[in-house]
Structure 1
Amino acid sequence: MVALYDSVHQFEPLMPSDVAQQPLLAQAHDLGRAALQLAGTPVPAGLRALLRSMNSYHSNRIEGQHTKPFEIEQALRRDFSANRELATRQRLAVAHIEAEVALEARYVGIEGALRLYSAQAIADLHHELFGRLTPEDLNAGNADEIIPGALRTRDVSVGQHIAPAFTALPKFLQRWADVYANTRRGEAALVALAAAHHRLGWIHPFVDGNGRVMRLHTHTMLSALGYTGGLWSPLRGFARSTDRYYALLAAADEARRGDLDGRGNLSQRALVDWIGYVLSVCQDQVAFMAGMLKLGDLERRVAACLAYEEHTLRSGVRMAALRPLHYLFVTDIALARGEFKAMTGLAERTAGSMLKALLDRGLLTSETPQGPVRFGLPLHALRFYFPTLWPEAEADDEPDRRNAGH
């Protein structure tokens, strides 16, 4: 019979030694500077909303539960598939989006970040996500009943890893919280949140949903510390390197590899590799989004979208919309319809027709039939505005391209 983990020393080290941390701290320093600079970039609310959908897509994809971008878009309009399995995935996608919004509002600043390191917060994350699903969604295909926010009440194994005894979960979670909540310095806090991601998975506090909770925790922690501004998340990077993500998680479960591998029960070298991977993923996502948000490039991309609408789709959209559209993007304000039309330089009637076309195509949004307009970011415009940001959404839009002009 295999002995279960029941003593907190069995998942040490929770942080690498001071010497092993040095290159990680340098990496975290560079990440922090770049992330804070990006987080202050003004962007329209529509972009942040789209990025939440993208985060949801990628978290589900990591779990092997694929939901296409347009299916998420339909679900956000409460237009769920008649196929029960697909509808469940759609509701899970919406639950992730709504949970992100709620958690980012609840855990703010250093105080919020410190509260995230607690058993109560981990249960809160699980409940915030899974509490939005129907009982049928929760238990479809699951051997155990999933109770939102409830720690598991039986012993489990995950791959080669035998998780701690369920009776020992409170003390493992308390040790996890005590160590990481005491790591408050900027660079060290980034190293800590990467380590915490792994060690929370090692504890495996829930019967199901641990991976999603781990990723929500990391995402929410980065937001609370002011590093994301809603403009990037490591979830995209994890999903684009899923095999490596899982391989490094599994490697960091391994026992110490001899006297040169730290002084804890688990491998320090593998934990260092995992942390370095997480920091690299974050750096890649920050650099990618910084490139996407270069305003000079953006004006050119908006122009390309308008040219396609005008000359290929003949949708009623005109290049004359470039100036007000670009203005709405960089200011993230709502503009009265009359002001928008005036900025186009077109005659009143022509400008009115184009305004309607922009709204029909989702390139503008408005809360009321005659209300002010904001910059819109429909999936079909992504390939122009933010190429390679979400290529799966561009693939979904292929029928629109094939039907262009028909």
Structure 2
Amino acid sequence: MFDSPFQFEPTSLSDRQLEEIFPLAQKIVESSIILRSAVHETTRTTLRELVRKMNSYYSNRIEGQSTHPYNIERALHNDFSRQPAEARLQRIAMAHIGAEQALEQQIGDRSALDSSFLIEAHRALYERLEPSDRLSDDGEVIVPGQLRLRDVRVGRYIPPIASALPVFLKRMDEVYGASRGWERLLISAACAHHRVAWVHPFLDGNGRAIRLQSHCALWKLSGGLWSPSCGFARSTEDYYVALQNADSPRRGDLDGRGNLSAIGLLEWVRYFLGICDDQAAYMSRMLALDGIKQRVEALVVFRSAQEKAIRREAILPLIHVFALGPVTRGEFAQMTGLGERSARTLLSKLLADRLLLSDSPYGPVRFGLPLDALGMLFPNLYPEVNLPVD
């Protein structure tokens, strides 16, 4: 029976383990800092919106409750399936996107690794769902932001007793709430991710709330341009194995001095940082200007062969708005070098295809990322968009 915080020590890595893992954390920080200054802010905003959709899809997929990316896109335009089960998955996806966006805006100077933020993540997600959409496996309605009031069993594992949850959360606040420096924040986020999962503070929704917390804890570093949820979902078996290994009791005298395995925690942190490194490095490669030039050109050339309204003269203006931000419609038309009527037709088609976006019928245009273009613009970023829709 777990009822005291000493039972989930160590809560952080030893000095020797920190020295071993620090270079990987530094590599992630360097990639992320470069990434945060890549391309124009409006393009980064569009990418953040895409990452939120991806996080919703992947976090829910880990829980076995995902819907196709195109169904998520439909739901964002208030187009829900007539099939009740599918519509429910769409609502869950929408709730995740809305919660993540709201939580990002709340970060400010507070620590997202604080237990109050974790509770807020759970509340932000579940309060966006109707009671009928937030039922546990045994039919109990989940109360948004409420710590569990009873003891539970998760498979063969029995988490800490409900009455002890406050002291476990207090200990996590002491250890993780004051992390300083990007590298230590990354390592603390990794440690917290596991230890919160081990404590299992909510009756249901622990995984989603923890992944929301991890995303927000790293948001100032990532700029919202990458998130570990994608990597977790693509290696779900490894994700659960690494979590379970960190659950292990101490493996002898050479495995730290806590109740749980220090080696298991280090293995989990290495897995977590490896996922972050992969995501940050991938997005850095994708936003390199030389590469995006080639991929925009390939996309326009491919589409121009399919539709006469798409012309190669769109290539340079599209690259311009991707890298340097919005332009007026007149400026975009001028950059194409086409006559007024041909430029207007091209512009209308790009807007209809959502390769360009605008907030008003006559307003400036900015770069768009429609799902059907991702396979060429950002290959392997969100490959599920290319799967058949059920």
| Mapped partners of 1:374, 1:142: distance in 2 | 47
User: Deviations along 1:146-201, whole A, 9 cap, x unmatched?
Assistant: 00000111111222321000011111100111111233233222211100000000
Is this contact kept in 1: 2:148–2:203, CA < 8 A? Answer: yes
Residue 182 to residue 351, structure 1, CA distance change in 2 (3 Å): closer
**Residue 377 (structure 1) aligned to one of 363, 369, 380:** 369
Is this contact kept in 2: 1:255–1:265, CA < 8 A? Answer: yes
Q: Which residue in the other structure is 2:30 paired with?
A: 33
Equivalenced residue count is 387
Q: Which amino acid aligns with 2:144?
A: P
**Structure 1: where are the runs of 5+ without partners?**
400-406
Q: Normalised by the size of structure 2, how large is the TM-score?
A: 0.96
Q: Once the 2 structures are TM-superposed, how far is the Cα of residue 373 of structure 1 from its aligned partner?
A: 1.5
Q: Once the 2 structures are TM-superposed, how far is the Cα of residue 54 of structure 1 from its aligned partner?
A: 1.0
| Mapped partners of 1:142, 1:127: distance in 2 | 20
User: Deviations along 1:267-302, whole A, 9 cap, x unmatched?
Assistant: 111000000100111011111111111111111111
Q: Once the 2 structures are TM-superposed, how far is the Cα of residue 332 of structure 1 from its aligned partner?
A: 2.5
Query: Equivalent residues in 2 for 1:147-158 (5 A)?
Result: 147-158=143-154
Q: Which residue in the other structure is 2:2 paired with?
A: 5
Q: Once the 2 structures are TM-superposed, how far is the Cα of residue 328 of structure 1 from its aligned partner?
A: 0.6
**Structure 2: where are the runs of 5+ without partners?**
none
Structure 1 residue runs of 4 or more that deviate by more than 3 Å after TM superposition: none
Q: Which residue in the other structure is 2:324 paired with?
A: 331
**Residue 337 (structure 2) aligned to one of 341, 345, 352:** 345
Paired residue secondary structure (1:307): helix
| Mapped partners of 1:119, 1:290: distance in 2 | 32
Q: Which residue in the other structure is 1:367 paired with?
A: 359
Q: Which residue in the other structure is 2:87 paired with?
A: 87
Paired residue secondary structure (2:332): helix
Q: Which residue in the other structure is 1:321 paired with?
A: 314
Is this contact kept in 2: 1:62–1:239, CA < 8 A? Answer: yes
Is this contact kept in 2: 1:144–1:207, CA < 8 A? Answer: no
| Mapped partners of 2:181, 2:300: distance in 1 | 47
Q: Which residue in the other structure is 2:12 paired with?
A: 15
Q: Which amino acid aligns with 2:316?
A: R
| Mapped partners of 1:344, 1:372: distance in 2 | 16
| Mapped partners of 2:225, 2:141: distance in 1 | 35
Is this contact kept in 2: 1:70–1:396, CA < 8 A? Answer: no
Is this contact kept in 1: 2:131–2:141, CA < 8 A? Answer: no
| Mapped partners of 2:172, 2:7: distance in 1 | 12
Q: Which residue in the other structure is 2:211 paired with?
A: 215
User: Deviations along 1:93-120, whole A, 9 cap, x unmatched?
Assistant: 1111111111111113xx322xx23332
**Residue 164 (structure 1) aligned to one of 160, 171, 174:** 160
Q: Which moved more, 1:183-192 or 1:322-331?
A: 183-192
User: Deviations along 1:23-51, whole A, 9 cap, x unmatched?
Assistant: 11222122212222212222413222112
Paired residue secondary structure (1:46): helix
Is this contact kept in 1: 2:121–2:213, CA < 8 A? Answer: yes
Q: Which residue in the other structure is 1:296 paired with?
A: 290
Is this contact kept in 2: 1:306–1:322, CA < 8 A? Answer: yes
C-alpha RMSD of the superposition: 1.6
**Residue 145 (structure 1) aligned to one of 141, 147, 153:** 141
Query: Equivalent residues in 2 for 1:105-254 (5 A)?
Result: 105-108=105-108, 111-113=109-111, 116-139=112-135, 141-223=137-219, 226-254=220-248
